[in-house]
């Protein structure tokens, strides 16, 4: 389903979907999620990772860490779920051994993600 600017869409809980900006204009997104669980922190971490690397290839170790850390509440279907349960912890283990997650200032780190307020204040 494609949703044009100014329109809305509703997705049933657990439905597979994706969203992206199909144009050159800045994407402004407003949404409501219920139950929210940790979607705010997950999306912040994902965008932190995506914005830290090349546009066409997100950093593997950091994206795997975010996906693994949020595996109980968020699902990304970039590979079959049973395969994720094997591959992701191996990538995170390799990243740990290589020192990719030292400190708190790496892309997608839980320390870099802050809680988002339930209601955002509108700019006046």
pTM greater than the 0.85 cutoff: no
Q: What is the pLDDT of residue 63?
A: 93
Distance (Å, whole) CA 78 – CA 46? 14
**pLDDT at residue 120 is higher than 70:** no
Q: What is the pLDDT of residue 124?
A: 42
Distance (Å, whole) CA 57 – CA 77? 16
Within 7-116, residue ranges assigned H as helices are 39-50, 60-69, 81-97
Band of pLDDT at residue 101, cut at 50, 70 and 90: very high
């Amino acid at each position: 389903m494609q949703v044009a600017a100014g329109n809305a869409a509703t997705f049933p809980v657990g439905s597979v979907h994706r969203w992206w900006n199909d144009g050159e204009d800045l994407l402004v997104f407003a949404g409501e999620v219920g139950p929210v669980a940790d979607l705010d922190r997950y999306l912040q971490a994902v965008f932190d990772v995506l914005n830290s690397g090349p546009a066409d290839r997100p950093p593997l170790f950091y994206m795997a860490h975010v996906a693994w850390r949020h595996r109980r509440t968020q699902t990304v279907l970039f590979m079959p779920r049973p395969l994720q349960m094997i591959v992701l912890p191996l990538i995170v283990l390799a990243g740990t051994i290589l020192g990719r997650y030292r400190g708190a200032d790496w892309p997608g780190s839980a320390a870099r993600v802050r809680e988002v307020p339930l209601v955002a204040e509108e700019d006046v």
